[in-house]
Amino acid sequence: MHAHLWPQFSQVTSSVIEAMVSVKRLSNFLHAEELQQDATTRVAKSSLSSGEVVSSIKGGEFAWTKSDVQPTLEDINLTHHANFLVSHGPRELPISAWKDS
């Protein structure tokens, strides 16, 4: 391997390992059982209209494990609408606004 490529290779390797650890943590978190069984409400619906609320979190508190005294995330509010992509930006965009490049 060329000497000038070595720093880039080690940075990429480090980033890949960090990403793998993060994905594993998130996967475990999202697949974990609910700590508070009555915290979720599921509503059966045969069809959804574009823009209709499909999921929401109000004042959510999340922890990595049951034994955590303090929540990892607090006061989380999130609303997801049908046919919209969620982003961390200032607004949601309808799926039709996104184009494959």
- pLDDT tens, 33-77? 776 777 777 777 777 777 888 888 889 888 877 788 888 889 988
Q: What are the C-alpha distances in Å from 25 to residues 3, 20, 90, 94, 100?
A: 34, 9, 26, 29, 29
pLDDT confidence bin for 98, thresholds 50/70/90: low
Asked whether the beta carbons of 57 and 69 are under 8 A apart, the reply is: no
Q: The tokens of 69 are what?
A: 């005294």
Q: The tokens of 33 are what?
A: 């059982």
The whole-number pLDDT of residue 21 equals 92
The whole-number pLDDT of residue 101 equals 42
98 vs 100: CA distance, rounded Å: 7
